Structure 1
Amino acid sequence: MTPSSPLLQPAPLSTVTLQVQRDGGGSRQPDRGDGSFCNPIVAGDHPDPTLLKDGPDYYMTASSLQSCPGVLICHSRDLVNWTPITAALTQPLGSVSAMDLVRHGGRYFVYLPVLQGRRSAIYVIHAEDIRGPWSPPLDLGLDGCLDPSHVVGEDGRRHLFVNGARRIELSDDGLATHGELQFAHRIGQQQRERGTDLPVSEGPRLLRRGEFFYMISALATSEGHVLAVAKSRSVFGPWEDCPFNPIASAGDADAPWCTGGRVSLVEGPGGDWWMACHGHEHGYRTLGRQTLLQPIEWTRDGWFRTVGARLDRPMRKPRGGCGDHPAQPLSDDFRQNRLGLQWSFFDAGPGELLRARYADDGLLLRGKGSGPHDCSPLTCRVGDHSYVAELDFELDGTVQAGLALFHDTRGFVGIGIGDGLVHTYSYGQEHRWMRQPTQGRHHRLRMTHRRHLVSFHHAASDGPWTQNPWLRDISTLHQNGLGALLSLRPALFAAGPGEVRFRHFSYQSLDA
């Protein structure tokens, strides 16, 4: 057994693309191949997207929350087809939410809001190449702040806007702040004066277009999130509210997509403009908040509004773009000598990534905790309604290994192998009465997920498959049922003393 190179060494774009092309599995593809696309453009849990136009290239990242490695950056040439290229954050910080990805002075920056227990703070990471290496995270000392948005003012100085519509100046290198937080604007004041309460629920997104700066805020109402906009010729104000605020709403409860959160506006390759946001798919909240794209148009008086078909209908693609049709790289033979971009640890602790190392014949993962609930499982985001996943592994020691659908420490279903037994987990607890004997160190597991009905099979070594008697409906394992803004993900786990050798993980969509 030969140790390999570091797990998180960045791979060049060509390497990642080859891996994607030969994978063959993956989530629903948005490109219809006829000049149109269907939402979501990135299926699965990718909330609060932030888009960066960099010449002919587009880059996007989304909230990582409690996943590490995090800050997954994807690349596109047409705003519809996206390929993951790197995970920029390899150090556990806490729960990383709505970020801002920018380029300034030839360098790339990501401003990260992080929840660390009762503390909220903003960090920054930077790189000369979007594919890395990325710097260690630097704390900007902005306690109590979230939802950063970077903008360069009319004076050429850099500024950061945060929750509460507050602004603070940044140093020229973007790695420190100057002065104190200043209140910028109470967006939605016109609506309040008319008796409509629209409190600012998230930090504004700043955009400069022509002579105007735009402050775009997600506001909370009794009917859900709406968007409101203000504009100014200076980052220092005064700001003018759009006369037809709100410009977009979350939609009806029965709508195919329920949108919300921060949005990101970007000019398309052909000069048209687009807005990316996230949304819950009706009937599939278990998939989390997925990334959606819709066109906007600018009015003669300098405002914008959403246009086009409903979010569940085909739309024409952005003009002038060119892109292939990559599949999500979810299957893994664990022979890449690096942690695949599809994988992340849930609620990782210090040194979590050191639990994993590569050998000649698979990924070795050291056990932790006592079960799926406290072992920081290795998870991957999916966007399909139905799929089948299989896992091939060997046990070393008294460790328990398994395959699960994991939302958080309270919400998961799955099966594990350890101590000569098959263990069954449902809704966060083990059903001890369902324990079944099994033999040997080499095992295979299969999970079949058909539109919220999940079943499992087990095979010892190369023997026949045996179906687990437990069939679960997991349609309630989502935010409304469990309270956490997460998604339900396939997960590999290793719990207890010892080590697991994962030999192969396969994923195949069953969606038509």
Structure 2
Amino acid sequence: MNHAHQFTLSDAARAADPRDGFYSNPIIAGDYPDPSVLRDGDAYYLVASSFVYYPGLVVWRSTDLVTWSPIGPALTVPLGSVYAPEIVKHEGRFYIYAAVRAVPQMPAPDGAPRPPIATYVVHADQIEGPWSEPIDLGIHNAIDPGHAVGEDGKRYLYVSDGTLIPLADDGLSRVGPDERLYDGWDYPADWEVETFALEGAKIIRRDGWFYMFSAEGGTAGPPTSHMVVVARSRSISGPWENCPHNPIIRTRSAAEPWWSRGHGTPLEDSSGAWWMIYHGYKNGFRALGRQPLLEPMEWTADGWPLATGGDLSEPLHAPNGPRSDGGLPGSGPIDERWFGPRMTFFKPGRGYLDRIRFDGESVTLQGQGGSPQDASPLVINTGDTAYEVSVELELVGPVTGGLILFYNEEFFCGIASDQERIRSYHLAAENPYEAPTPAIGRTLHLRLVNRGQVGSFYYSSDGMTWTLHRSYEVSGYHHNVAGKYLSLRPAFFAAGEGTLKMRSMNYTPLQSLEAPSPAS
């Protein structure tokens, strides 16, 4: 598949154009949390947590740090929930390290039980791949690996809780015991945060110092939770000295446009300027997940970093360098190019790639399970606060096909049809109080309008005259309520033994304050 395209879909990203010398956040619209960024010459590469969405670990490319094009996924084998990856280049080879939590729907190839959590690595000689099969490093007690090369030339991972783990020279196995060397920074006891949660270490070396940029405060919870703290040492093994003006990034008020800002990767661009890429929730829209944000950074005379972007409420001066060209527009037909970077399966089993077939103007989806809960829906990652999704469905054989808003197996809502009746779902169950609505045939049209965090679901026999079936308020479908660090996504599903043929699949961003178009 060809994934070499670009899209930017959020309201904020349309507010400023890097070609005019300014940019607005997010730099990639949608739920792409825990960003790790690598500069290789004049190009930059980014990966983010993909959790239980597959294909996973999509690699993104940019030449200006603002406009990003997905190259393709580095992980297609469903291992579990993929946390906080780290992308690095060492001696000409690319590596991605990530922690993976075991998920029952994703068993090991040999059927053997997996540890509850394990750190894996994939590697490639070219950034475009092919990427290796995932390798278990034997690290089963930590998350958020951060790669570093010490003053001794040896390779290491710093993991959660400030623990250092030596790696073999090829970076594909551990070669020594854990050693906890950094305790983090003590923030004031009266700060409103989720939890301490020292994690997400990113290590750079500058002017004879190792600098560790870490996350603290918890990734969700109150808007003021997350933060970026810094420490430095002359040795990779410490001792570590905390920055006197920690935290260098934090949401200080719920009035700011981005909440829970944290988990940052620092990097120097090709002109010598410094930047920080991290994530945050859009104010009032936690259901969209955590989106990648870019902020300029400077260094003090005594060698400490300072973030200089403020609360990100205003457009910022864009980095120097050649501008990246876009490819895929932010609206219009959904096709094969969206699969991987934008459209993925939720908790798929092995062989999930065989369930989907792209045939020019249609997509065929093989049924699975009996409801959205076990059907492994095909979900769309979006950063828009308001949008419309529409599709024409053809039911082939014994299948229930639908269009839903999906967070996880316990939090979803939407509409579907089999050959007997229209069905509606709310909070992981069919609505038991709804009067039966007869099906309108093997072919029907469905439409979702999500605006004001209210999802309205329509059906039609011809795609022109629409009937509003149900509307649901969905602002609470997010991690603080449902856990698992996911986001609410429009999704298609096929349940049963038959197949679902989908035509005229379209995604359209809407203005948040517009009234819905008439459905008559």
- After TM superposition, the score normalised by the length of structure 1 is 0.89
Name the residue aligned to 1:449: 450
Cα-to-partner distance string for 1:107-143 (whole Å, 9 max, x where unaligned): 1110011111571110000111111111111000101
* Range moving further from structure 2, 389-398 or 248-257: 248-257
Aligned-pair distance for 1:482?
Answer: 2.1
Give the distance between the partners of 1:285 and 1:191, measured in 2 at CA: 25
Name the residue aligned to 2:251: 250
Instruction: Give the letter aligned to residue 148 of structure 1.
Output: P
Asked whether 1:300 is paired with 2:301, we answer: yes
Verify the 8 A CA contact 1:190 1:241 in the aligned structure 2: no
Task: State the secondary structure of the residue aligned to 2:255.
Answer: coil
Name the residue aligned to 1:48: 34
Aligned alpha-carbon RMSD (Å):
2.5
- Which residue of the other structure, out of 30, 43, 62, is the alignment partner of 2:48? 62
Give the distance between the partners of 2:233 and 2:420, measured in 1 at CA: 68
Q: What does residue range 447-486 of structure 1 map to in structure 2 within 5 Å?
A: 447-460=448-461, 462=462, 464-486=464-486
Asked whether 1:119 is paired with 2:119, we answer: no
Name the residue aligned to 1:348: 348
Asked whether 1:368 is paired with 2:365, we answer: no
Give the distance between the partners of 1:303 and 1:490, measured in 2 at CA: 43
Name the residue aligned to 1:141: 138
Runs of at least 5 residues in structure 2 that lack an aligned partner in the other structure: 104-114, 513-520
Verify the 8 A CA contact 2:217 2:227 in the aligned structure 1: yes
Task: State the secondary structure of the residue aligned to 1:412.
Answer: strand
Aligned-pair distance for 1:98?
Answer: 0.6
Instruction: Give the letter aligned to residue 419 of structure 1.
Output: Q
Give the distance between the partners of 1:385 and 1:298, measured in 2 at CA: 35
Asked whether 1:83 is paired with 2:69, we answer: yes
Task: State the secondary structure of the residue aligned to 1:501.
Answer: strand
Cα-to-partner distance string for 1:420-444 (whole Å, 9 max, x where unaligned): 2111112322124243112332222
* Range moving further from structure 2, 391-400 or 432-441: 432-441
Name the residue aligned to 1:132: 129
Name the residue aligned to 1:209: 206
Aligned-pair distance for 1:182?
Answer: 1.4
Task: State the secondary structure of the residue aligned to 2:118.
Answer: strand
Aligned-pair distance for 1:506?
Answer: 0.7
Asked whether 1:285 is paired with 2:286, we answer: yes
Give the distance between the partners of 2:80 and 2:261, measured in 1 at CA: 23
Asked whether 1:495 is paired with 2:495, we answer: yes
Give the distance between the partners of 1:233 and 1:162, measured in 2 at CA: 19
Give the distance between the partners of 1:157 and 1:466, measured in 2 at CA: 64
Cα-to-partner distance string for 1:385-407 (whole Å, 9 max, x where unaligned): 11111112211111001111111
Give the distance between the partners of 1:173 and 1:323, measured in 2 at CA: 33
Name the residue aligned to 2:321: 320
Q: What does residue range 194-205 of structure 1 map to in structure 2 within 5 Å?
A: 199-205=196-202
Name the residue aligned to 2:88: 102
Give the distance between the partners of 2:465 and 2:93, measured in 1 at CA: 52
Name the residue aligned to 1:220: 217
Distance 1:369 1:261, change over 3 A: farther
Name the residue aligned to 1:384: 384
Verify the 8 A CA contact 1:333 1:503 in the aligned structure 2: no
Q: Quick one: percent identity of the two aligned structures? A: 39
Distance 1:332 1:103, change over 3 A: farther
Distance 1:325 1:365, change over 3 A: closer
* Range moving further from structure 2, 463-472 or 394-403: 463-472
Give the distance between the partners of 1:182 and 1:191, measured in 2 at CA: 27
Verify the 8 A CA contact 1:99 1:147 in the aligned structure 2: yes
Give the distance between the partners of 2:384 and 2:334, measured in 1 at CA: 21
- Which residue of the other structure, out of 185, 190, 195, is the alignment partner of 1:188? 185
* Range moving further from structure 2, 246-255 or 121-130: 246-255
Task: State the secondary structure of the residue aligned to 2:179.
Answer: strand
Task: State the secondary structure of the residue aligned to 1:262.
Answer: strand
Name the residue aligned to 2:267: 266
Aligned-pair distance for 1:178?
Answer: 0.8
Name the residue aligned to 2:106: none
Verify the 8 A CA contact 1:335 1:362 in the aligned structure 2: no
Distance 1:280 1:191, change over 3 A: closer
Cα-to-partner distance string for 1:63-92 (whole Å, 9 max, x where unaligned): 101101111111111111111110111011
Instruction: Give the letter aligned to residue 474 of structure 1.
Output: V
- After TM superposition, the score normalised by the length of structure 2 is 0.88
Task: State the secondary structure of the residue aligned to 1:178.
Answer: coil
Aligned-pair distance for 1:321?
Answer: 4.1
Distance 1:198 1:425, change over 3 A: closer
* Range moving further from structure 2, 216-225 or 341-350: 216-225
Asked whether 1:163 is paired with 2:163, we answer: no
Give the distance between the partners of 1:46 and 1:360, measured in 2 at CA: 28
Name the residue aligned to 2:404: 404
Give the distance between the partners of 1:158 and 1:165, measured in 2 at CA: 16
Give the distance between the partners of 2:327 and 2:260, measured in 1 at CA: 25
Name the residue aligned to 1:151: 148
Instruction: Give the letter aligned to residue 147 of structure 2.
Output: H
Verify the 8 A CA contact 2:330 2:509 in the aligned structure 1: no
Instruction: Give the letter aligned to residue 62 of structure 2.
Output: S
Verify the 8 A CA contact 1:151 1:207 in the aligned structure 2: yes
Instruction: Give the letter aligned to residue 51 of structure 1.
Output: V
Instruction: Give the letter aligned to residue 304 of structure 1.
Output: P
Name the residue aligned to 2:24: 38
Verify the 8 A CA contact 2:118 2:140 in the aligned structure 1: yes
Aligned-pair distance for 1:453?
Answer: 2.1
Task: State the secondary structure of the residue aligned to 2:199.
Answer: coil
Task: State the secondary structure of the residue aligned to 1:323.
Answer: coil
